[in-house]
A = this chain, B = another copy of it.
Amino acid sequence: MAEQISLRKRKKFQARQTILNAAAQQFEVHGFANTSIAGIMQAAGLGVGTFYNYFSSKEEVLLTLAKNLREQVAKSILAASKVNQSSPELLELCCLCTARAIDKNRSILPLFTTASEHSDKPEQIGQSLSPGFRELFEKIILRGQERGEFRSDVPSNIISEMIHSIYQTTAFSKLEISFQENIRLKVKILLAGIRAR
């Protein structure tokens, strides 16, 4: 009996995953707005109605994808930031860790730049990715500025916004260079730019 329930739950969990994957893929191919629920469920090999057993809207799927990514990134950063080191080193490390975590979910990030367009509650989605790493970055920068490791003539939130922008747009890059390497180079420039003289 307990096993039966567990079996069913496992299946339900699997179906949920199937839908999430199908959605991510469809979003990547057609974009969020051009993806229909019917399309997602067809890609998932499930009936249309089944979608509503798991999610109440396309937005909720996006939110879920965002949450998953956010958690992965957070975990990855957390691990990296335990080691003790200088602020520039730490910032670079975190940036690269984040890049690596994002790279595994490349299809998802680009959505958040644009998702705010399609929702009645843009703020929810648009910034749902940030918490957990944007704040972390800002903390590191602040600490670096206090320690005199980073220039102080530019506010930390501007710098943090700049890092954020790098991730957002690099995900769209058409250049013939890997995502992580692209990020690495840009972070290199940024670090050089904010180093205290």
A residues engaging B (CB < 8 A)? 31-34, 113-114, 116-118, 120, 122, 126, 151, 154-155, 157-159, 161-162, 164-166, 168-170, 172-173, 175, 177, 182, 185-186, 188-195
Please, how many angstroms separate the alpha-carbon atoms of A33 and B161 in the complex?
A: 26
CB nearest neighbor in B for A157 = B175
Please, how many angstroms separate the alpha-carbon atoms of A46 and B169 in the complex?
A: 37
Top-10 shortest CB links A-B: A193-B193, A165-B169, A189-B193, A31-B117, A114-B114, A192-B193, A114-B117, A33-B33, A33-B118, A165-B165
Contacts of A186 in B (CB 8 A): 158, 161-162
Q: Do the beta carbons of A185 and B169 come within 8 Å of each other?
A: no
Shortest A30–chain B CB gap in Å is: 9
Q: Do the beta carbons of B34 and A185 come within 8 Å of each other?
A: no
Q: Chain A at the B interface: mostly helix, strand, loop or mixed? A: helix
Pick from B113, B158, B190, B192: contact of A177, CB under 8 Å:
B158
Please, how many angstroms separate the alpha-carbon atoms of A35 and B119 in the complex?
A: 11
CB nearest neighbor in B for A164 = B169
Contacts of A188 in B (CB 8 A): 154, 193
Q: Do the beta carbons of B170 and A31 come within 8 Å of each other?
A: no
> Knowing A31-B117, A114-B114 touch, does A175 contact B193 (C-beta < 8 A)?
no
Q: Do the beta carbons of B113 and A31 come within 8 Å of each other?
A: no
Contacts of A191 in B (CB 8 A): 193
Q: Do the beta carbons of A189 and B159 come within 8 Å of each other?
A: yes
Pick from B158, B165, B175: contact of A185, CB under 8 Å:
B158
> Knowing A154-B185, A191-B193, A193-B191 touch, does A122 contact B31 (C-beta < 8 A)?
yes
Q: Do the beta carbons of B166 and A170 come within 8 Å of each other?
A: no
